[in-house]
């Protein structure tokens, strides 16, 4: 057995996903999920991270960043320890941890592009006693890439089919799409918001962290004039490679782009329904641009939203739509497993084929290794 741990905290900043995987390279590449858990952030830290992401903080921003970097790392350590307890494993059993960290800013298109994930790998390695690979995205950016999305490399490795074209859609805070065609390099990019706008809107109006089963959205109706303005955003018509984040698609963006319409004049559930339509429309249009029929597999939290799935089925009547569990991996754990696999590649000093996705000038060995 070759055991690797994968860790990631997504744009919703609600919890750390942790997985323990058995990864083999020969005779055929394989990955098996052995254990998994979701480790929630304390509400106070979650709010600090959300505020910091919106440049809302108390005191010196460098001090605040340093404190959050340390705190997030400590919670990643706790997630690892819980996972080891659950699996009845010791640190010596683990080859390495692949820690994505917590993204607090992603600016791939600025004059000086950068992306920042916190959760100090030194602390994770020192306190778990396990070699840790972290800081995956910046090497890709150093070679001119977007630094995202990275999931398409995992999708290609474990979801591609030798005979059929497939689309894999990750519905996290931001949605990304991967086209897998037999004998061809994958195509992949961020399509825009998946859950982030809906999550923030329902929290603002009902103090719920997400819209359970899309029920609130289903109680509303699409507002055509608002949807039209949202779809006018230039991001949706940009060619790949492209990536984005919650620093772009947020409630400030929603209010700004919907001007001069005043959202307060509409029922809040109608706005929620319109945001769901925005996600469904931008995902579906991205798929239709590349394949007019075929297999679509959903992963990420949005895969559990029946209202969103129903709308995608309506917009893609010639496609079969399932979630990634049909391919052997539950939708909740695909991203964390991606970084366990990335860690295995880094330890083996193998480059990851992402240049066709991110636009980097070359494929790179990603991540920095922190020895325990």
Q: Any known ligand binding at 13?
A: yes
Q: What is the mean pLDDT of residues 20-45?
A: 93
Q: What is the mean pLDDT of residues 260-271?
A: 95
* Residues of the chain above pLDDT 70, percent: 100
Q: What is the mean pLDDT of residues 143-171?
A: 96
Taking only the tens place, the pLDDT of each residue in 301-311 is: 999 999 999 99
pLDDT higher than threshold 80 for residue 149: yes
33 vs 58, higher pLDDT: 33
pLDDT higher than threshold 90 for residue 59: no
Integer CA distances (angstroms), 55 to 52, 67, 103, 107, in order: 5, 15, 14, 14
pLDDT higher than threshold 80 for residue 89: yes
Q: Any known ligand binding at 16?
A: yes
Q: What is the pLDDT of residue 53?
A: 84
Whole-angstrom Cα Rg for the chain:
20
Q: Any known ligand binding at 323?
A: no
pLDDT higher than threshold 90 for residue 36: yes
Q: What is the mean pLDDT of the chain?
A: 96
Buried b (16+ CB within 10 A) or exposed e, 259-291: eeeebeebebbbbbbbbbbbbbbbbbebbeeeb
Integer CA distances (angstroms), 277 to 114, 194, 259, in order: 31, 10, 19
Q: What is the pLDDT of residue 169?
A: 98
* Residues of the chain above pLDDT 90, percent: 93
DSSP 211: -
Q: Any known ligand binding at 12?
A: yes
Q: What is the pLDDT of residue 10?
A: 87
Q: What is the pLDDT of residue 57?
A: 79
Distance of CA 70 to the CA centre of its chain: 22
Q: What is the pLDDT of residue 56?
A: 80
Taking only the tens place, the pLDDT of each residue in 175-220 is: 999 999 999 999 999 999 999 999 999 999 999 999 999 999 999 9
pLDDT higher than threshold 80 for residue 26: no
- H or E stretch covering 32: strand 30-40
Q: What is the pLDDT of residue 55?
A: 83
Q: What is the pLDDT of residue 163?
A: 92
Let me know: does 371 contact 125? Beta carbons within 8 Å: yes
What tokens appear for 120 in the block?
A: 């100090």
- H or E stretch covering 319: strand 319-323
Q: Provide the 3-class DSSP secondary structure of residue 181.
A: coil
Q: Any known ligand binding at 14?
A: yes
Q: What is the pLDDT of residue 6?
A: 98
Q: What is the pLDDT of residue 54?
A: 81
User: From the DSSP assignment, how many helices (H) and strands (E) are in the chain?
Assistant: 13, 12
Q: What is the pLDDT of residue 288?
A: 97
The pLDDT confidence band at residue 365, using thresholds 50, 70 and 90, is: very high
Domains of the chain are 3-146+336-370 (3.30.420.40), 151-331 (3.30.420.40)
Q: Any known ligand binding at 15?
A: yes
Q: What is the pLDDT of residue 154?
A: 97
Q: What is the pLDDT of residue 343?
A: 98
Taking only the tens place, the pLDDT of each residue in 116-145 is: 999 999 999 999 999 999 999 999 999 999
């Amino acid at each position: 057995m070759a055991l690797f741990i994968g860790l990631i905290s997504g744009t919703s900043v609600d919890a750390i996903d942790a997985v323990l995987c058995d990864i083999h390279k020969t005779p055929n590449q394989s990955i098996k999920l052995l254990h998994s858990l979701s480790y929630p952030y304390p509400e106070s830290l979650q709010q600090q991270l959300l505020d910091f992401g919106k440049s809302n903080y108390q005191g010196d921003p460098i001090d605040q960043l340093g404190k959050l970097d340390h705190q997030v790392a400590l919670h990643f350590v706790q997630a690892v320890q819980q996972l080891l307890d659950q699996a009845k494993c010791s640190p010596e059993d683990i080859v390495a941890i692949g820690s994505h960290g917590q993204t607090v800013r992603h600016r791939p298109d600025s004059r000086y592009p950068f992306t920042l994930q916190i959760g100090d790998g030194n602390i994770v390695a020192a306190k778990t006693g396990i070699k840790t690979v972290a800081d995956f995205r910046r090497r890709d950016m150093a070679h001119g890439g977007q630094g995202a999305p990275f999931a398409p490399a995992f999708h290609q490795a474990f979801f591609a089919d030798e005979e059929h074209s497939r689309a894999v859609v990750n519905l996290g805070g931001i949605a990304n799409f991967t086209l897998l065609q037999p004998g061809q390099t994958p195509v992949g990019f961020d399509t825009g918001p998946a859950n982030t706008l809906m999550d923030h809107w329902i929290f603002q109006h009902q103090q719920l962290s997400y819209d359970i089963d899309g029920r609130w959205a289903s109680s509303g109706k699409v507002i055509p004039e608002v949807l039209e303005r949202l779809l006018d955003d230039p991001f949706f018509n940009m060619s790949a490679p492209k990536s984005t984040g919650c620093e772009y698609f947020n409630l400030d963006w929603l209010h700004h782009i919907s001007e001069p319409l005043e959202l307060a004049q509409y029922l809040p559930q109608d706005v929620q329904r319109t945001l769901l339509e925005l996600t469904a429309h931008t995902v579906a249009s991205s798929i239709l641009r590349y394949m007019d029929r075929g297999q679509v597999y959903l992963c990420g939290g949005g895969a559990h939203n029946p209202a969103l799935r129903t709308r995608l089925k309506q917009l893609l009547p010639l496609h079969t739509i399932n979630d990634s569990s049909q391919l052997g991996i539950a939708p909740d754990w695909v991203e964390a497993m991606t970084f366990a696999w990335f860690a295995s590649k880094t330890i083996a000093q193998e480059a990851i084929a992402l240049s066709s996705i991110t636009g980097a000038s070359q494929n790179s060995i990603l991540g920095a290794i922190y020895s325990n």
